[in-house]
Copies of this chain bind each other. A is one copy, B any other.
Amino acid sequence: MSRADPFADTRDGDETRVALMEATYEALSKHGYADLTIERIGEAFGKSPSLIYHHYDSKDALLVDFLEFMLDRFESDVALDDGDRADAQLQALLDHALADPIDDDRYAMTSAITELRAQAPHDETYREHFTRSDRFFHDRITGIIERGIDQGLFREVDPDRTAEMLLVTINGAMTERVTTTKEATTRDVREELDAYVRARLLADEQP
């Protein structure tokens, strides 16, 4: 069965798929990965688990499809305006990624993503997804940095290298938030990243 349209054999296939994805999101936020079952997704879906098993072999097959679905939506939703100032775009990206505090829904989803990513070391399909996902965010940041250099706002840094460091720092901070009770982590990282941007990137700043 094609991943792209697992409900092609149902009427209103897309609507059914979207409804299942929403139910998966709801069940994942509520129960977390470890306690998630197809049965619980079926409850949120309001349909029999057997319908889900008809389309997916396992919880993990459904969850990887869910991750891809979310990334597809994100990719098409957040087209950047090339005309905007790159420094403002970078700040907006950091504001969103390192928002503090975050609400319960986002905390639950960050926890779930942390648990899903931890499947990647022993599961190739998860590894492929997080490779694609991290490449997308990496390329997004690289694009902002290249534009900032073109606009004369940023110094002539290596865009790939800079993007990679920003990406793993953001991912590390998000993981830290949901796996420890340390306080002020996100705020400290955000403030130090701002200092890093001033010292390394901004063309008109003296560190």
Contacts and interface: CB of A to CB of B under 8 A. Distances in A.
Interface in A106-133: 111-112, 114-115, 117-122, 126-128, 130-131
Interface string A127-141: 110110011001000
A201 to B, nearest CB: 10
Interface string A165-190: 10111111101101111101100110
A162 to B, nearest CB: 6
Interface stretch (A1-9, A11-19, A77-85, A192-200): A192-200
Contacts of A179: 117-118, 120-121, 126-127, 130
A177 B73 CA distance: 26
A158 B189 CA distance: 12
Nearest to A162: B192
Contact of A117 (B118, B131, B181): B118
A164 interface: yes
Given A121-B32, A180-B131, A199-B199, A189 B168 contact: yes
Interface residues of A, number: 55
Given A165-B169, A171-B176, 19 more contacts: A35-B122, A111-B121, A115-B118, A115-B122, A117-B175, A117-B179, A118-B118, A118-B179, A126-B179, A127-B181, A130-B179, A131-B181, A138-B182, A165-B188, A165-B192, A168-B175, A168-B185, A172-B172, A196-B200
28 contacts: A32-B121, A34-B122, A114-B118, A115-B118, A117-B179, A120-B178, A120-B180, A121-B179, A127-B179, A127-B180, A127-B181, A130-B179, A131-B181, A135-B182, A157-B195, A161-B191, A162-B192, A164-B185, A165-B189, A165-B192, A167-B176, A168-B172, A168-B176, A171-B172, A172-B172, A196-B200, A199-B199, A200-B207
